[in-house]
């Protein structure tokens, strides 16, 4: 490997026949060094392969300009939008991102947290795993006053800040829209209600029913992992109802389950939206391709990533205190498409 000698400012000084102090100042763009010299120094540094000593300066400043990101899974349409937004803000603010995935497992999330801690990240951004029931493993950060921001799947903590959308409100809007289309037996396909996002969507669904004097029926709520396969199985569950008791609408907590449920129902001769209206959540690319196009909630992943990093950076730069803010709620938006328009 790299057995070569590390280039220092003394090598640059010798190469240019100037003092090391001048080189050091020149590399920092110090105004006392004239522009031409600064340029010469920068060129020599590049040519010789000088690496600015971020290590040593990290030891001095106790800052690494690095943020840790722990997410359940990297390969989802939503998470890739979040990451893109985070990288955009981090690069603007002069931070680097270190990423890790928990694969929905609490113990992997604990390992990730410990690694990030030892890597001395300046701050941590976390979306919690399915399996996480306690957030004690982040205490090492809280104890050291290293800021932690939870996003999307969050947990309440007096020292942590949250970046979320109003899941309750969005679900309420979706359900009300289906009710306004004349639907009376609305099914909800939900996720793990230990997680705020799914618990809040279920709550919004229930409240909209109650506010419109529709009875809540436990048989019309199915919770699962919201995958393609599970969405297909949900269609089989729906087809088992007697014709009169069959749901006339489905509100799914994500687009994947909604789309694969639709595909299976269509194959069984069900007409959408005439027989069963559909709405999903996320505004994934597939929602614009399924026929009929899927009504859904636009979940601003890119903005969420940007907001999380920007508020972390503001806190680190001493501009704002995230403990004072605590929760940032981003605007989501109901997108109405043909899958739910019964009266078109």
Interface ranges with a second copy (CB under 8 A): 1-4, 6, 46, 49, 51-52, 54-56, 58-59, 62, 66, 73-77, 79-81, 83-84, 87-88, 91, 96-101, 115, 117-120, 140, 143-146, 256, 259, 263, 284-286, 289-291, 302, 316, 318
The CA–CA distances, whole Å, from 331 to 166, 208, 260, 310 equal 7, 19, 27, 17
Q: Which one, 172 or 299, has the nearer CB to a second copy?
A: 299
Could you tell me the smallest distance in angstroms from the CB atom of residue 318 to a second copy? 8
Question: Exposure of 139 by Cβ count < 10 A (0-12 exposed, 13-18 middle, 19+ buried)?
Answer: middle
Could you tell me the smallest distance in angstroms from the CB atom of residue 61 to a second copy? 10
Q: Residue holding tokens 């605590």? A: 326
Beta strand extents in 127-209 (DSSP E only): 148-151, 161-165, 186-190
**Are residues 265 and 292 in contact, defined by beta-carbon separation less than 8 angstroms?**
no
The CA–CA distances, whole Å, from 327 to 75, 157, 307 equal 26, 11, 11
Q: Which one, 204 or 292, has the nearer CB to a second copy?
A: 292
Could you tell me the smallest distance in angstroms from the CB atom of residue 263 to a second copy? 7
In degrees and rounded to multiples of 5, residue 73 shows phi and psi of -145, 140
Could you tell me the smallest distance in angstroms from the CB atom of residue 56 to a second copy? 8
Q: Which one, 215 or 318, has the nearer CB to a second copy?
A: 318
Q: Which one, 46 or 242, has the nearer CB to a second copy?
A: 46
Could you tell me the smallest distance in angstroms from the CB atom of residue 93 to a second copy? 13
Cα 103–311–73 angle (5° rounding)? 10
């Amino acid at each position: 490997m790299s057995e070569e000698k590390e280039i220092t400012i003394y090598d640059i000084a010798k190469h240019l026949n100037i003092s090391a102090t001048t080189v050091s100042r020149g590399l920092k763009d110090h105004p006392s060094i004239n522009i031409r010299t600064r340029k010469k120094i920068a060129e020599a540094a590049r040519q010789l392969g000088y690496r600015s000593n971020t290590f040593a300066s990290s030891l001095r400043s106790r800052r690494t300009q690095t943020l840790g990101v722990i997410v359940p899974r990297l390969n989802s349409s939503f998470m890739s939008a979040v990451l893109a937004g985070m990288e955009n803000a981090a690069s603007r603010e002069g931070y680097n991102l270190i990423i890790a995935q928990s694969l929905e497992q609490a113990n992997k999330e604990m390992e990730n947290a410990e690694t990030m801690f030892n890597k001395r990240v300046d701050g941590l951004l976390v979306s919690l795993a399915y399996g996480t029931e306690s957030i004690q493993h982040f205490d090492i950060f809280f104890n050291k006053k290293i800021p932690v921001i939870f996003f999307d799947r969050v947990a309440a903590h007096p020292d942590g800040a949250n970046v979320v959308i109003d899941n309750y409100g969005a679900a309420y809007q979706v359900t009300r829209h289906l009710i306004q289309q004349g639907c009376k037996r609305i099914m909800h396909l939900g996720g793990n209600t230990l997680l705020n996002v799914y618990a809040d969507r279920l709550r919004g669904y229930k409240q909209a029913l109650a506010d419109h004097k529709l009875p809540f029926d436990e048989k019309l709520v199915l919770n699962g992992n919201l995958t393609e396969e599970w969405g297909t199985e949900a269609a089989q569950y729906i087809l088992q109802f007697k014709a009169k008791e069959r749901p006339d609408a489905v509100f799914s907590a994500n687009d994947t389950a909604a789309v694969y449920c639709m595909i299976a129902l269509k194959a069984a001769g069900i007409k959408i939206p005439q027989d069963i209206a559909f709405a999903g959540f996320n505004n994934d690319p597939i929602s614009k391709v399924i026929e009929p196009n899927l009504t859904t909630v636009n979940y601003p992943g890119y903005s969420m990533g940007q907001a999380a990093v920007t508020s972390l950076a503001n806190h680190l730069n001493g501009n704002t205190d995230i403990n004072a803010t605590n929760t940032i709620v981003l605007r989501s938006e109901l997108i109405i498409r043909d899958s739910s328009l019964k009266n078109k």
